[in-house]
A and B are shown apart, each in its own frame.
Chain A
Amino acid sequence: MLYDSVFVFPNFEVERNYERCIVCKACVQQCTFDATFYLPYRGRVVSKDTNCVGCRRCEAICPTGAIKIRRYQGEFKENAYWTPRDLKDLYKQAEQGGVILTGGGNDRPYPIYWDHILLDACQVTNPSIDPLREPMELRTYLGRKPDRVEIEYNDEGEPELKTRIGPNLVAEVPVIFAPMSYGALNLNMHRAEAAAAKAMGTYWNTGEGGLHRELYPYGDHTIVQVASGRFGVHAEYLQVSAAMEIKIGQGAKPGIGGHLPGGKVDEEISKTRMIPVGSDALSPAPHHDIYSIEDLRQLIYALKEATNYEKPVSVKIAAVHNVAAIASGIARAGADIIVLDGFRGGTGASPAIVRDNVGIPIEMALAAVDQRLRDEGIRNWVSIIAAGGIRNSGDVIKAVALGADAVYIGTAALLAVGCTLCHKCYTGKCAWGITTNDPYIAKRLNPEIAAERLTNLLKAWAHEMKEMLGLMGINAIESLRGNRLRLRAVGLTREEMDILGILPAGA
């Protein structure tokens, strides 16, 4: 029996080249997980491997390249069924008797449908387009579109639009920063997202922790979230926004609520969430005023009433088995935008067992919802935002072809500012200064530099998307939406292709 801490089996080891180490102690100062120590009596920096989370901050910061973080070399007896992760988690629970937490998105080896889908291109007939020389349109309108458009002629005989079109968001790039709350992230990250969204003519989303007053000037580029805890939700918050989003579920943890531990609720977070310093911020699993589609309609219209019908309302749900029927209900409840969050979506904190076992892939959910709304003749009532594991512009283009109007990026945005996917967001100790509100560590994230990196990322993706549209002979992303004929499948079953609505390669 193990009597000592279960951490006797580390995940990583810190390999130090003492020939190169100049004992500058930068690694000691940078490690937020207490994996690196200076021993004065030996004049050496040493490591406690069991504390290392593999974030690689020390490796990146070491001026002489003396550090390598490696996967721990010690191995359990080979077992194709019980993985080292299973063993370590089990030991930990046997010792502490608690739910194992994690951050980030599902990292298990489930199928990745994006990687089984290939794009079409023009050859000989129907020439491709070079986006460097010809206009290429990525602008996307998000919101309800009328069933038909009526035109009338004014006194001068010029045509004018007679149909009143409801409020729509206008995104110059169909990529929006995903909802990540102030609390899970720090204010520097929110500053960076807001500035980058404004610079690129797109949007960012507050998540459920309210909007810091400093960022009200970015309201035109801000989607504000209303979640079950109603943190920081008030009339002014709604009125300053570009759109409002009712968060029903999250891909990383469908059907459960959230706990921002009281330890993370400092003065500024307290101000923005409007709760006392140090108190737990508990988000109930459901909204207790929403137990049905009719109740959802009630909250959607409450938001519209509170903002004079001037802003679109979005409803975000996790991709689950009945997602198509639920989405139809949401569209009929009066939402202008539906966000589908797939099971790869990230989180600041979730029970690992939920993150790893619940939900369905966004590719399937998206295709099913788009098809269902088309079949019912109500696809124009809502725009669809696909979220949960969008890794690159190829995923974006495939998502659009499967029926998305736009995508959310969360994990990708964090990667752009230094995240290395160590999945320790829930500890509040992020050594890269992203998912921490410790003022000392949060300083590592410079909001101007982070904004520039986010802007660079969107610029790069926008350019790549234009290239991909061009090679398909398409000059506007509108023309690709739901255009599944431009997709082909490799290595998928008949049923999978039927749900995705795509043909096998060669057909």
Chain B
Amino acid sequence: MSEPLIIDARDMYYRELNQIIRDKVREGVTHFRLLNVNGQRYIGAGLTREVFIEVFGVAGQDLGIFMKGPTIVVYNNAQDCVGNTMEGKKVVVHGMAGDVCGYGMRGGKLHILGDVGYRVGIHMKTYKDMVPVIIVGGKAGDFFGEYMAGGVLILLNLWDNDSRPMVGDYLATGMHGGTIYIRGEVAPYLMGKEVGQVEVTPEDEALLRDLLEDYCRDFSRYGLDPQEILNQPFTKLVPVSSRPYGKVYAY
């Protein structure tokens, strides 16, 4: 990997920080290391080139929004809307992430080590070979996978270090595409009425293994083992219909 361009973001307004990144990307820099990041928004927004951005500190809102090319690794927590309307490549968060992560995401991967907030993975969509993937290592809040239209959403609950349920209410309500895999059992009352539980097939297991291997590689320092994760059975949720609201109308 190329020598990183180091930027000290201490006391730097997000606009200045992102302007430097945009200018340097245009100049051909492919590896950034941002130090002392403290909530600066929009890191990686709209970037289409394949660059590598390391973030030390807490990444602000809309990390990687609209982006297509970059791989971003955050060695801390990230705020809300990580990977908002994202098109490709990857965001790895070595910590927790806030609400509405992966909203309208249509490609690339979001690997979160810890918990996430409300409305994560809502309205994700698939288009041809673009299949977005979100893997959450911890727990998730209400409306996980709401309106989901495509892609793969995985909830692992690896840490389980408090008494909260691993997922909130209204799980996948309005879902009309894609697949949700949740490690462990989910009480049916948490699920939206547009979603149904189906058997995990060998194909699902192969897909999960593939995705979890990549996830565990990103978090290798924590000694995660895909096989160990897979040892506990998963709950698979799929939409009941690709047209959940087709019968609402009179003609």
**Which residues of A pack against B, CB within 8 Å?**
92-93, 95-101, 228-230, 233-236, 238-239, 259, 261-262, 270, 274-276, 278-280, 282, 284, 288-289, 298-299, 301-302, 305-308, 427
Interface centre among A93, A229, A279, A307 (most CB of B within 10 A): A279
Interface segment out of the listed B28-36, B38-46, B157-165, B218-226: B38-46
Are A275 and B127 in contact (CB-based, < 8 A)? yes
Q: Which of B15, B81, B130 contacts A289 (CB 8 A)?
A: B81
Interface SS of chain B: loop
Are A308 and B177 in contact (CB-based, < 8 A)? no
6 A-B residue pairings within 8 Å (CB atoms): A96-B251, A98-B250, A233-B66, A261-B243, A276-B150, A279-B177
Are B66 and A306 in contact (CB-based, < 8 A)? yes
**Which residues of B pack against A, CB within 8 Å?**
15, 18, 22, 41-42, 45-48, 61-62, 65-68, 80-81, 84-85, 87, 100, 103-104, 106, 119, 122-123, 125-127, 130, 146-147, 149-150, 174, 176-177, 242-251
CB of B39, distance to nearest CB on chain A (Å): 12
Question: Which residues of the partner chain B approach A101 to less than 8 Å between Cβ atoms?
Answer: 249-251
Question: Which residues of the partner chain A approach B122 to less than 8 Å between Cβ atoms?
Answer: 284, 288
CA distance A95 to B122 in the complex (A): 35
Question: Which residues of the partner chain A approach B48 to less than 8 Å between Cβ atoms?
Answer: 235-236
CB of A253, distance to nearest CB on chain B (Å): 14
Are A298 and B62 in contact (CB-based, < 8 A)? yes
Are A234 and B250 in contact (CB-based, < 8 A)? no
Question: Which residues of the partner chain B approach A270 to less than 8 Å between Cβ atoms?
Answer: 127
Question: Which residues of the partner chain A approach B127 to less than 8 Å between Cβ atoms?
Answer: 270, 274-276
Question: Which 9 residue pairs across A and B have the least CB separation, nearest first?
Answer: A306-B46, A230-B104, A98-B250, A96-B250, A274-B127, A305-B45, A305-B42, A235-B46, A98-B249
CA distance A99 to B119 in the complex (A): 28
Q: Which of B66, B125, B149, B243 contacts A238 (CB 8 A)?
A: B66
Are B123 and A288 in contact (CB-based, < 8 A)? yes
Question: Which residues of the partner chain A approach B146 to less than 8 Å between Cβ atoms?
Answer: 288
CB of B70, distance to nearest CB on chain A (Å): 11
Question: Which residues of the partner chain A approach B22 to less than 8 Å between Cβ atoms?
Answer: 308
CB of B216, distance to nearest CB on chain A (Å): 30
Are A276 and B126 in contact (CB-based, < 8 A)? yes
Q: Which of A99, A298, A301, A305 contacts B250 (CB 8 A)?
A: A99
Are B42 and A282 in contact (CB-based, < 8 A)? no
Question: Which residues of the partner chain B approach A301 to less than 8 Å between Cβ atoms?
Answer: 41-42
Are B100 and A288 in contact (CB-based, < 8 A)? yes
Q: A234-B66, A305-B45 are in contact. Are A282 and B81 (CB under 8 A)?
A: no
CA distance A301 to B52 in the complex (A): 23
Q: A98-B250, A234-B87, A275-B149 are in contact. Are A302 and B62 (CB under 8 A)?
A: yes
CA distance A238 to B80 in the complex (A): 22
Q: Which of B47, B177, B251 contacts A276 (CB 8 A)?
A: B177
The chain B residue sitting closest to A95, CB to CB, is B250
Question: Which residues of the partner chain A approach B103 to less than 8 Å between Cβ atoms?
Answer: 230, 288-289
CB of B140, distance to nearest CB on chain A (Å): 15
Question: Which residues of the partner chain B approach A228 to less than 8 Å between Cβ atoms?
Answer: 123
CB of B45, distance to nearest CB on chain A (Å): 4
CB of B71, distance to nearest CB on chain A (Å): 16
Q: A262-B242, A280-B243 are in contact. Are A274 and B125 (CB under 8 A)?
A: yes
Are B41 and A235 in contact (CB-based, < 8 A)? no
CA distance A99 to B41 in the complex (A): 42
Q: Which of A100, A230, A280, A427 contacts B244 (CB 8 A)?
A: A280
Q: Which of A229, A288, A302, A308 contacts B66 (CB 8 A)?
A: A302
Interface centre among B46, B100, B130 (most CB of A within 10 A): B46
